[in-house]
Amino acid sequence: MQFSNTTNNDGLIQDCERILFNNYGAITGNTARLQEFTALMNQALDETATDIMKVDRNWRWDDVNHGDFPEATTDIVLGQGDYLTDVSFLKIQKVEILDESGNATVLRDIKEIESDQSFSERFEQDSIPTYYDMKGSSIVLFPAPDYNKTEGLTIHYQRTFDHFVSTDTTQSPGCPSNFHPLISMRAAYKHAFANQMPIAASLKQEIREYVEDLRQFMPSRNPWGRNKLSPKYKSSK
């Protein structure tokens, strides 16, 4: 479902108009109300992203509307162990580092270490980092690097949906289309609850049923684990 489609009246906004007002144009014809429902729709996107990430461990869902890969890269600096990260990251999937020669290594979470020795003592000497730790909005490398490397640190992460703006029309939620109505229902429920509309109770129940279906469906898309692609043809060389 598109964010808004006033031609066929089958967008997310039109779904809210039908559910709450039984009047197409009740939202799109009112600038302030359209802005309100855009904000409510984005809240619904974030809630749905949380639901997906709780259960979608194999596929590692991402919203294609972002237009780029869910990874962030920064330079490695000699002697610097602490690097700021984007607080919009919802989950860290993998952290990779390049050595001086450009060879990549996947870092391990420091929490895997069981030791009475402090990290500062254990990793006192700068070297090639082998562990990382997330602290607030920073990622800390252990040990600190003893070299400089352009774009030497890469964080692979999961993020929420690409948010709508009130002028959107054709953009659709970046999740399976059978769950697009969950977004509009959540937005409609928020408005109905805030305005003490009788329909709020039935919307709440319908949302629960959709969320349960979502939790059953997402893991089933790839029940055997991570996807593996093989080339159709093998080179004869």
pLDDT in tens, the chain (237 residues): 999 999 999 999 999 999 999 999 999 999 999 999 999 999 999 999 889 888 866 557 777 788 778 888 999 999 999 998 876 666 788 899 999 999 999 999 988 776 666 666 778 899 999 999 988 888 999 999 999 999 999 998 888 888 999 999 999 998 889 999 999 999 999 999 999 999 999 999 999 999 999 988 887 765 444 444 334 444 443
Residues 129 and 200 in one domain: no
Pair (57, 84) in one structural domain: no
Q: Looking at the structure, do residues 141 and 109 belong to the same domain, yes or no?
A: yes
* Residue whose C-alpha is closest to residue 152's, from 234, 59, 87, 75: 75
Residue 206 pLDDT: 96
- pLDDT tens by residue, 168-215: 999 999 888 999 999 999 999 999 999 999 999 999 999 999 999 998
Cα–Cα nearest to 141, from 198, 90, 96: 96
51 shares its domain with 88: no
The pLDDT value recorded for residue 161 is 85
Is there a domain that residue 233 lies in? no
- The answer on 139 and 90 residing in a single domain is yes
Assigned domain for 194 exists: yes
Q: Do the strands 104-106 and 108-109 form a parallel or antiparallel pair, or are they unpaired?
A: unpaired
Q: Answer whether residue 5 is part of any domain.
A: no
What is the three-class DSSP state of 104?
strand
Residues 78 and 40 in one domain: no
- Identify whether residues 38 and 85 lie together within a single domain: no
Query: 192 and 129: one domain?
Result: no
Same domain, 56 and 75: no
25 located within any domain: yes
Structure tokens at 209: 């049923």
80 and 154: one domain? yes
CA distance 35 to 24: 16
- CA nearest neighbour of 99 among 157, 151, 155, 156: 151
DSSP strand E in the chain: where? 71-76, 82-84, 91-98, 104-106, 108-109, 131-135, 138-142, 149-158
Tell me, yes or no, whether 22 lies in a domain: yes
Residue 102 shares a structural domain with residue 136: yes
Name beta bridge partners: 155.
Answer: 72, 95
> pTM here?
0.73
User: Domain residues for 144?
Assistant: 71-158
- Count the residues in the chain: 237
Residue 143 lies in a domain: yes
57 and 77 housed in the same domain: no
Residue 1 lies inside a defined structural domain of this protein: no
Domain count, the chain: 2
The tokens for 230 are 């093989």
225 in any annotated domain: no
